[in-house]
Amino acid sequence: MTTHGHPRRPVHPYESPAQASRATYPTFLPLHETLRVQLACAGRGLVDAFRWDTVVRLVASDPEIRANVLKCLLLNTLALASIYVFDLLLFPLAQGEHHWLHRNVGWAYQVLWLLPVVGISLYLNSTWCSIIAKRTFALQHGPRAGAAPPATYSGLLNALATSAYGGIMVVTSVVISFALARVPRIGPPTGFVFLCWVDAYYCFEHVWTSRGLSLARRVRHLEERWAYYFAFGLPTAALCTWGSSLANAALFALVFPAYIIMAMHARPVPLDPYNPLASSSHGDSDEIRHPSPLVPIRLPVFAPVLWLNDWVVRALSFGSGGVVSSSTSGRGWGQSRAGHRRGISEATENIEEGEAVELNPVGVESSPSMPGSGRTRIRVGGPAPNASGGFSRRKLD
């Protein structure tokens, strides 16, 4: 039996109850050591975000990946060049002429050329990036590792619901990022930090989808390894903050295929956020040492996004007579509005059902369910039997 993450050891006949209780009390790392662990995780994320040698090697060795990367490169270069031709050449030239010329040239160029090119490039880029991600995953784990299950009607509905929710999540993430940037003083740096996590999420989304993670488990995985994912998303966020909104989007689409490949070969750390030294050189002992209570294990980065998502989905559900449901666990369409009476969002409860997952390194076979480090964490409230008949450790959230 476990108590607060520690196995309950047998009480010695001459041991007092106070000594037995003291032995089962959780052990925490000092604050400075917890900070050192988080800095090490951030350093690992930054290293994984600069593994361009892996990208070059994979692109050079596989014809299918190379063809799709080149198509993404050419199309997004065209979109980026079109944006800067307007921003740096046509727009300044038209400013010195008559007002009607300035207005009509800008309107005609954006509507007839710029928006179609950027829209088509983003659509085709998502298709080609999906092919790159599937091929990279197949090269790592075999052609059957990421095979899709047989298509069913309910599975199709769940896929549509998940895609719709994911699309709304993209929009709400961008809206929150722009809103943060408009807050005086603290807004721009806060928006930049948030954008780092958003970029990292979408770079790893193909990895998590290939491994069969639900949206709830993806969010939980990122929020429990917030230092690593912040550092991984830092280069793309820094690269895509200098131009206009369209230019930043095109620039991110330009480097996105490369970061999908890097994410496929990355190994986010810590493997166990509730016992971060378990897999390190300092974790030779079987003793479980939780991070300092002064440093959060899980940082609710996407809580505002999920909250805003649920309001949008509730509005759609109200307008469509309860056809659309708000769910991050992939339950699909067709849920009645009565299911929302429990509160604004079911996302929090669904995310709490996520498990600790481990992204294995390159060359290590892993099942699509992504098992964790061998321990199952459950919410505090009672022990749960595991497969061996014993009891699993409890999670301290």
Written in H, E and C, the secondary structure of 53-100 is HHHHHHHHHCHHHHHHHHHHHHHHHHHHHHHHHHHHHHHHHHHCCCHH
Within a domain: 17: no
Residue 128 has pLDDT above 90, yes or no: yes
Residues 358 and 372: beta-carbon distance below 8 Å? yes
Question: 25 vs 291, which has greater pLDDT?
Answer: 291
Predicted local confidence at residue 341, as pLDDT: 35
Which residues have CB under 8 Å from 289's CB, separation 6+? 27, 28, 29, 275, 277
Residue 309 has pLDDT above 60, yes or no: yes
Within a domain: 396: no
Within a domain: 359: no
Residue 78 has pLDDT above 60, yes or no: yes
Predicted local confidence at residue 302, as pLDDT: 93
Within a domain: 54: yes
Predicted local confidence at residue 97, as pLDDT: 55
Question: 312 vs 307, which has greater pLDDT?
Answer: 307
Within a domain: 369: no
Predicted local confidence at residue 149, as pLDDT: 60
Residue 200 has pLDDT above 80, yes or no: yes
Q: Which of 93-97, 208-212, 241-245 has the lowest mean pLDDT?
A: 93-97
Within a domain: 368: no
How many domains does one find in the chain?
1
Mean pLDDT of the chain: 75
State mean pLDDT over 170-190: 89
State mean pLDDT over 310-324: 68
Predicted local confidence at residue 325, as pLDDT: 41
Predicted local confidence at residue 24, as pLDDT: 73
Predicted local confidence at residue 31, as pLDDT: 95
Percent of the chain topping pLDDT 90: 37
Within a domain: 395: no
Q: Which of 4-13, 174-183, 295-304 has the lowest mean pLDDT?
A: 4-13
Domain membership of residue 69 as a residue range: 2-6+31-352
Most confidently modeled range among 230-234, 244-248, 251-255: 230-234
Within a domain: 390: no
Helix H segments across 182-264?
A: 187-210, 215-223, 226-239, 245-264
